[in-house]
């Protein structure tokens, strides 16, 4: 059974053309699908690679190999009416993330860490009964939150 995290992980890869609709169908039938690290033989198999998809499924008692997205989608719709498990083998590169996105993520993480550190210091000032430090740190936190909203006082 595929977990939601595994499906989301697949969606974050560079999927071949037409695979988005197939992934929607797989998502709806997560309980009948599982990931595999090897391309298995003699089992219902969907291979996702950067260049395309291949499905090996039993259709009307015969093993069929499909490579066109619309054919795969139609065959999987029929397959998921059976109780069998579909194995998914992937050979997909991760989606490239532009450097500015990584920089933005790092900046946001630093802000969150600063805010959490500040909140811990506020809690500490409260515990010690240091009213002046509490007011000072609370004002700093409020300024930080206003700046994040685009409001500067």
Of 35-39, 99-103, 116-120, give the range with the top mean pLDDT: 116-120
At residue 153, the pLDDT reads 44
Classify 43 as helix, strand or coil.
coil
Dihedral-angle region of residue 89 (phi above 0 means left; psi in -120 to 50 means alpha; beta otherwise): beta
CA 37, 40, 43, 46 torsion-angle sign: positive
Confidence of residue 115 (pLDDT cuts 50, 70, 90): very high
Q: Is the pLDDT assigned to residue 152 strictly greater than 60?
A: no
- pLDDT above 90 covers a percentage of the chain that reads 48
């Amino acid at each position: 059974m595929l977990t939601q995290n595994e499906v989301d992980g697949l969606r974050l890869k560079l999927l071949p053309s037409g695979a988005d609709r197939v992934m929607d169908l797989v998502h709806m039938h997560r309980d009948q699908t599982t990931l595999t690290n090897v391309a298995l033989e003699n089992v219902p198999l969907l291979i996702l690679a950067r260049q395309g998809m291949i499905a090996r499924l039993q259709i009307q008692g015969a093993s069929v190999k499909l490579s066109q997205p619309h054919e795969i989608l139609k065959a999987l719709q029929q397959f998921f009416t059976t109780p069998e498990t579909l194995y998914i083998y992937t050979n997909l590169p991760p989606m490239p993330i532009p450097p500015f996105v990584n920089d933005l993520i790092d900046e946001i993480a630093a802000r969150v860490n600063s805010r959490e550190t500040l909140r811990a210091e506020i809690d500490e000032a409260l515990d010690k009964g240091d009213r002046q430090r509490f007011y000072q740190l609370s004002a700093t936190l409020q300024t930080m939150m206003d700046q994040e909203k685009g409001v500067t006082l």
